[in-house]
Amino acid sequence: MNGILERTLGILELLAQHGEGLALADVAERLGIPRSAAHRLLADLVRLGYVRQSRGHGDYLLTTRLVAMGLSYLSHTGIVDIAQPLLNRLAEISGELVRLSVVDGERLTWVARAQGARQGLRYDPDMGSDARLSCSSSGWAWLSTLDDDEALARVARQGLGLPEQYGPAAPASLQAVLEAVRATRAQGYSLTVDTYTPGLSAVSAPVRFAGQPAFGVLTIAGPTVRFTLERMQALAPELRATAAQLAATSGASPFFQLTAETGDPAGAPTGRTPIYAV
Protein backbone atom coordinates (compact mmCIF):
# COMPACT_ATOMS: atom_id res chain seq x y z
CA MET A 1 0.00 0.00 0.00
CA ASN A 2 1.47 3.33 -1.05
CA GLY A 3 -1.04 6.19 -1.07
CA ILE A 4 -2.23 7.81 2.16
CA LEU A 5 -5.88 7.25 1.29
CA GLU A 6 -5.26 3.60 0.38
CA ARG A 7 -3.38 3.02 3.63
CA THR A 8 -6.05 4.75 5.70
CA LEU A 9 -8.86 2.71 4.17
CA GLY A 10 -6.73 -0.40 4.60
CA ILE A 11 -6.44 0.30 8.33
CA LEU A 12 -10.19 0.80 8.68
CA GLU A 13 -10.96 -2.42 6.80
CA LEU A 14 -8.39 -4.35 8.84
CA LEU A 15 -9.72 -3.11 12.18
CA ALA A 16 -13.26 -3.91 11.03
CA GLN A 17 -12.21 -7.57 10.92
CA HIS A 18 -10.74 -7.50 14.45
CA GLY A 19 -13.26 -6.39 17.03
CA GLU A 20 -10.79 -7.15 19.80
CA GLY A 21 -8.38 -4.58 18.41
CA LEU A 22 -4.85 -4.77 17.01
CA ALA A 23 -1.51 -3.47 18.19
CA LEU A 24 0.40 -0.93 16.13
CA ALA A 25 2.97 -3.54 15.12
CA ASP A 26 0.26 -5.91 13.89
CA VAL A 27 -1.42 -3.20 11.83
CA ALA A 28 1.86 -2.23 10.20
CA GLU A 29 2.88 -5.83 9.52
CA ARG A 30 -0.44 -6.97 8.08
CA LEU A 31 -0.69 -3.99 5.75
CA GLY A 32 2.97 -3.97 4.83
CA ILE A 33 3.64 -0.37 5.82
CA PRO A 34 6.27 1.20 8.14
CA ARG A 35 5.32 1.49 11.80
CA SER A 36 5.94 5.22 11.74
CA ALA A 37 3.45 5.67 8.88
CA ALA A 38 0.90 3.41 10.55
CA HIS A 39 1.25 5.36 13.80
CA ARG A 40 0.65 8.70 12.05
CA LEU A 41 -2.46 7.43 10.28
CA LEU A 42 -3.84 5.81 13.42
CA ALA A 43 -3.25 9.04 15.35
CA ASP A 44 -5.22 10.96 12.73
CA LEU A 45 -8.05 8.41 12.85
CA VAL A 46 -8.13 8.66 16.65
CA ARG A 47 -8.25 12.46 16.43
CA LEU A 48 -11.12 12.30 13.95
CA GLY A 49 -13.07 9.84 16.07
CA TYR A 50 -12.98 6.78 13.83
CA VAL A 51 -10.52 4.80 15.98
CA ARG A 52 -9.83 4.62 19.70
CA GLN A 53 -6.97 3.13 21.69
CA SER A 54 -7.73 0.76 24.53
CA ARG A 55 -6.36 1.70 27.92
CA GLY A 56 -5.22 -1.77 28.90
CA HIS A 57 -2.99 -2.94 26.05
CA GLY A 58 -2.88 0.10 23.81
CA ASP A 59 -4.55 -1.78 20.95
CA TYR A 60 -6.43 0.18 18.32
CA LEU A 61 -10.16 -0.43 17.77
CA LEU A 62 -12.84 1.09 15.60
CA THR A 63 -15.37 3.36 17.23
CA THR A 64 -19.05 3.23 16.33
CA ARG A 65 -18.71 6.21 14.00
CA LEU A 66 -18.32 4.10 10.86
CA VAL A 67 -21.16 1.84 12.00
CA ALA A 68 -23.39 4.87 12.46
CA MET A 69 -22.48 6.11 8.99
CA GLY A 70 -23.31 2.75 7.46
CA LEU A 71 -26.63 2.46 9.26
CA SER A 72 -27.51 6.02 8.30
CA TYR A 73 -26.71 5.29 4.68
CA LEU A 74 -28.83 2.13 4.63
CA SER A 75 -31.75 3.95 6.24
CA HIS A 76 -31.63 6.69 3.62
CA THR A 77 -31.48 4.24 0.71
CA GLY A 78 -34.65 2.52 1.88
CA ILE A 79 -33.13 -0.96 1.63
CA VAL A 80 -34.08 -2.06 5.13
CA ASP A 81 -37.54 -0.46 5.04
CA ILE A 82 -38.38 -2.34 1.85
CA ALA A 83 -36.79 -5.66 2.73
CA GLN A 84 -37.41 -6.09 6.46
CA PRO A 85 -41.12 -7.08 6.35
CA LEU A 86 -40.33 -9.71 3.71
CA LEU A 87 -37.35 -10.99 5.69
CA ASN A 88 -39.42 -11.17 8.87
CA ARG A 89 -42.13 -13.19 7.16
CA LEU A 90 -39.64 -15.63 5.63
CA ALA A 91 -37.88 -16.04 8.98
CA GLU A 92 -41.19 -16.84 10.66
CA ILE A 93 -42.03 -19.44 8.01
CA SER A 94 -38.61 -21.08 8.02
CA GLY A 95 -37.74 -20.74 11.68
CA GLU A 96 -34.16 -19.92 10.64
CA LEU A 97 -31.94 -16.92 9.95
CA VAL A 98 -32.84 -14.97 6.81
CA ARG A 99 -30.32 -12.54 5.32
CA LEU A 100 -30.28 -10.07 2.47
CA SER A 101 -27.03 -9.27 0.69
CA VAL A 102 -26.64 -6.58 -1.94
CA VAL A 103 -24.25 -6.32 -4.86
CA ASP A 104 -21.99 -3.27 -4.76
CA GLY A 105 -19.38 -3.40 -7.51
CA GLU A 106 -17.41 -6.59 -6.97
CA ARG A 107 -18.66 -7.11 -3.43
CA LEU A 108 -21.65 -8.96 -2.06
CA THR A 109 -22.39 -7.56 1.39
CA TRP A 110 -24.93 -8.71 3.99
CA VAL A 111 -27.02 -5.69 5.00
CA ALA A 112 -30.23 -6.96 6.66
CA ARG A 113 -31.44 -10.01 8.55
CA ALA A 114 -34.31 -11.56 10.47
CA GLN A 115 -33.91 -14.36 13.01
CA GLY A 116 -36.57 -17.04 13.01
CA ALA A 117 -35.00 -19.38 15.58
CA ARG A 118 -36.40 -18.67 19.05
CA GLN A 119 -34.56 -21.40 20.94
CA GLY A 120 -31.89 -24.05 20.53
CA LEU A 121 -29.04 -23.62 18.06
CA ARG A 122 -28.86 -20.27 16.29
CA TYR A 123 -26.69 -19.04 13.47
CA ASP A 124 -26.47 -15.28 13.91
CA PRO A 125 -23.37 -13.70 12.31
CA ASP A 126 -22.38 -10.07 12.15
CA MET A 127 -23.81 -7.88 9.42
CA GLY A 128 -21.74 -5.76 7.11
CA SER A 129 -19.27 -8.45 6.10
CA ASP A 130 -18.68 -9.53 2.52
CA ALA A 131 -19.59 -12.99 1.29
CA ARG A 132 -16.77 -15.27 0.12
CA LEU A 133 -18.06 -15.94 -3.36
CA SER A 134 -16.41 -19.32 -3.89
CA CYS A 135 -17.97 -21.10 -0.92
CA SER A 136 -21.03 -19.19 0.30
CA SER A 137 -24.58 -19.95 -0.72
CA SER A 138 -25.21 -16.28 -1.47
CA GLY A 139 -22.03 -16.11 -3.53
CA TRP A 140 -23.08 -19.04 -5.71
CA ALA A 141 -26.52 -17.50 -6.21
CA TRP A 142 -25.02 -14.24 -7.45
CA LEU A 143 -22.41 -15.92 -9.64
CA SER A 144 -25.09 -18.07 -11.24
CA THR A 145 -26.58 -14.92 -12.81
CA LEU A 146 -23.27 -14.12 -14.55
CA ASP A 147 -21.70 -16.00 -17.44
CA ASP A 148 -19.09 -18.62 -16.57
CA ASP A 149 -16.08 -16.50 -17.52
CA GLU A 150 -17.19 -13.51 -15.48
CA ALA A 151 -18.12 -15.68 -12.51
CA LEU A 152 -14.70 -17.34 -12.46
CA ALA A 153 -12.96 -13.99 -12.92
CA ARG A 154 -14.68 -12.61 -9.84
CA VAL A 155 -13.77 -15.66 -7.77
CA ALA A 156 -10.16 -15.47 -8.96
CA ARG A 157 -9.91 -11.79 -8.02
CA GLN A 158 -11.34 -12.37 -4.54
CA GLY A 159 -9.56 -15.68 -3.99
CA LEU A 160 -10.80 -19.14 -3.09
CA GLY A 161 -12.18 -19.77 0.37
CA LEU A 162 -10.34 -23.00 1.07
CA PRO A 163 -11.69 -25.80 3.32
CA GLU A 164 -9.12 -25.13 6.06
CA GLN A 165 -10.29 -21.51 6.24
CA TYR A 166 -14.04 -21.98 5.86
CA GLY A 167 -16.13 -25.16 5.78
CA PRO A 168 -14.78 -28.67 5.10
CA ALA A 169 -16.90 -28.94 1.93
CA ALA A 170 -15.71 -25.64 0.43
CA PRO A 171 -14.70 -26.03 -3.25
CA ALA A 172 -10.92 -26.30 -3.46
CA SER A 173 -10.57 -25.35 -7.13
CA LEU A 174 -12.07 -22.99 -9.68
CA GLN A 175 -13.47 -25.96 -11.57
CA ALA A 176 -15.32 -27.13 -8.46
CA VAL A 177 -16.74 -23.63 -7.97
CA LEU A 178 -17.87 -23.56 -11.60
CA GLU A 179 -19.68 -26.89 -11.21
CA ALA A 180 -21.50 -25.54 -8.14
CA VAL A 181 -22.44 -22.33 -9.96
CA ARG A 182 -23.77 -24.25 -12.95
CA ALA A 183 -25.88 -26.48 -10.69
CA THR A 184 -27.24 -23.35 -9.00
CA ARG A 185 -28.07 -21.79 -12.36
CA ALA A 186 -29.91 -24.92 -13.49
CA GLN A 187 -32.22 -25.10 -10.46
CA GLY A 188 -32.57 -21.38 -9.79
CA TYR A 189 -31.22 -21.44 -6.23
CA SER A 190 -28.10 -22.58 -4.40
CA LEU A 191 -27.77 -25.25 -1.72
CA THR A 192 -24.72 -25.45 0.54
CA VAL A 193 -23.79 -27.71 3.43
CA ASP A 194 -20.54 -27.17 5.36
CA THR A 195 -19.04 -25.01 2.61
CA TYR A 196 -18.91 -21.62 4.35
CA THR A 197 -18.96 -22.60 8.02
CA PRO A 198 -18.73 -26.07 9.58
CA GLY A 199 -22.20 -27.24 10.61
CA LEU A 200 -24.00 -24.61 8.54
CA SER A 201 -26.51 -25.18 5.74
CA ALA A 202 -27.93 -22.45 3.51
CA VAL A 203 -30.21 -21.96 0.53
CA SER A 204 -30.11 -18.74 -1.53
CA ALA A 205 -32.01 -17.19 -4.40
CA PRO A 206 -30.90 -14.21 -6.51
CA VAL A 207 -32.93 -11.00 -6.54
CA ARG A 208 -32.90 -9.81 -10.13
CA PHE A 209 -34.70 -8.59 -13.20
CA ALA A 210 -35.21 -11.31 -15.81
CA GLY A 211 -32.09 -11.94 -17.86
CA GLN A 212 -29.96 -9.55 -15.79
CA PRO A 213 -27.28 -10.15 -13.15
CA ALA A 214 -28.58 -10.22 -9.59
CA PHE A 215 -28.50 -7.01 -7.60
CA GLY A 216 -29.16 -8.83 -4.36
CA VAL A 217 -29.40 -12.30 -2.84
CA LEU A 218 -31.86 -13.68 -0.30
CA THR A 219 -30.62 -16.49 1.97
CA ILE A 220 -32.00 -18.82 4.61
CA ALA A 221 -29.31 -20.38 6.83
CA GLY A 222 -29.29 -22.64 9.85
CA PRO A 223 -27.49 -25.45 11.69
CA THR A 224 -27.05 -28.52 9.49
CA VAL A 225 -28.38 -30.85 12.19
CA ARG A 226 -31.73 -29.12 11.88
CA PHE A 227 -31.67 -27.38 8.52
CA THR A 228 -31.41 -30.46 6.35
CA LEU A 229 -31.19 -30.74 2.57
CA GLU A 230 -34.84 -31.85 2.45
CA ARG A 231 -35.90 -28.85 4.53
CA MET A 232 -33.98 -26.45 2.30
CA GLN A 233 -35.51 -27.89 -0.85
CA ALA A 234 -38.98 -27.62 0.67
CA LEU A 235 -38.42 -23.93 1.45
CA ALA A 236 -36.88 -23.09 -1.93
CA PRO A 237 -40.21 -22.14 -3.63
CA GLU A 238 -41.11 -19.77 -0.79
CA LEU A 239 -37.60 -18.29 -0.88
CA ARG A 240 -37.77 -17.67 -4.61
CA ALA A 241 -41.23 -16.16 -4.34
CA THR A 242 -40.00 -13.76 -1.66
CA ALA A 243 -36.99 -12.83 -3.80
CA ALA A 244 -39.39 -12.05 -6.63
CA GLN A 245 -41.45 -9.83 -4.33
CA LEU A 246 -38.31 -8.01 -3.26
CA ALA A 247 -37.32 -7.45 -6.88
CA ALA A 248 -40.77 -6.13 -7.68
CA THR A 249 -40.60 -3.53 -4.89
CA SER A 250 -36.94 -2.62 -5.39
CA GLY A 251 -37.72 0.48 -7.43
CA ALA A 252 -38.62 2.29 -4.21
CA SER A 253 -34.99 2.18 -3.09
CA PRO A 254 -32.48 4.46 -4.83
CA PHE A 255 -29.71 1.94 -4.13
CA PHE A 256 -31.55 -1.00 -5.68
CA GLN A 257 -32.77 1.12 -8.57
CA LEU A 258 -29.26 2.33 -9.44
CA THR A 259 -27.75 -1.16 -9.19
CA ALA A 260 -30.50 -2.74 -11.25
CA GLU A 261 -30.42 -0.06 -13.94
CA THR A 262 -26.66 0.00 -14.41
CA GLY A 263 -25.96 -3.66 -13.71
CA ASP A 264 -22.36 -4.50 -12.95
CA PRO A 265 -19.83 -1.67 -13.36
CA ALA A 266 -18.22 -3.70 -16.12
CA GLY A 267 -21.42 -3.61 -18.18
CA ALA A 268 -23.58 -0.91 -19.65
CA PRO A 269 -27.21 -0.09 -18.84
CA THR A 270 -29.60 -2.25 -20.79
CA GLY A 271 -32.18 0.45 -21.39
CA ARG A 272 -34.88 -2.23 -21.37
CA THR A 273 -38.02 -2.27 -19.34
CA PRO A 274 -37.31 -4.68 -16.48
CA ILE A 275 -39.30 -7.86 -16.01
CA TYR A 276 -39.18 -9.07 -12.43
CA ALA A 277 -38.06 -12.62 -11.82
CA VAL A 278 -35.72 -14.78 -9.78
Arithmetic mean of pLDDT, 54-82: 71
214 pLDDT exceeds 70? Answer: yes
In this predicted model, what pLDDT tens digit does every residue of 234-273 receive, in sequence order?
A: 999 999 999 998 888 765 455 555 554 544 433 333 333 3
* 3.40.1160.10, 3.30.70.1350, 1.10.10.10, 3.30.830.10: CATH of 4-63: 1.10.10.10
pLDDT at 170: 96
CATH number of 69-277: 3.30.450.40
pLDDT at 257: 53
In this predicted model, what pLDDT tens digit does every residue of 181-209 receive, in sequence order?
A: 999 999 999 999 999 999 999 999 999 98
Locate CATH 1.10.10.10 in the chain: 4-63
Any idea which of 45-54, 109-118, 153-162, 222-231 has the lowest mean pLDDT?
A: 109-118
pLDDT at 160: 92
pLDDT at 277: 32
Q: What is the DSSP string of the chain?
A: --SHHHHHHHHHHHHHT-TT-B-HHHHHHHHT--HHHHHHHHHHHHHHTSEEE-TTT--EEE-SHHHHHHHHHHHHHTHHHHHHHHHHHHHHHHSSEEEEEEEETTEEEEEEEEE---SS----PPSSPBP-TTT-HHHHHHHTTS-HHHHHHHHHHH----TTTS-TTS--SHHHHHHHHHHHHHHTSEEEESSSSTTEEEEEEEEEETTS--SEEEEEEEETTTS-HHHHHHHHHHHHHHHHHHHHHGGGSHHHHHHHHH-STTS----SPP-EE-
Question: Is the pTM value of this prediction over 0.75?
Answer: no
Locate CATH 3.30.450.40 in the chain: 69-277
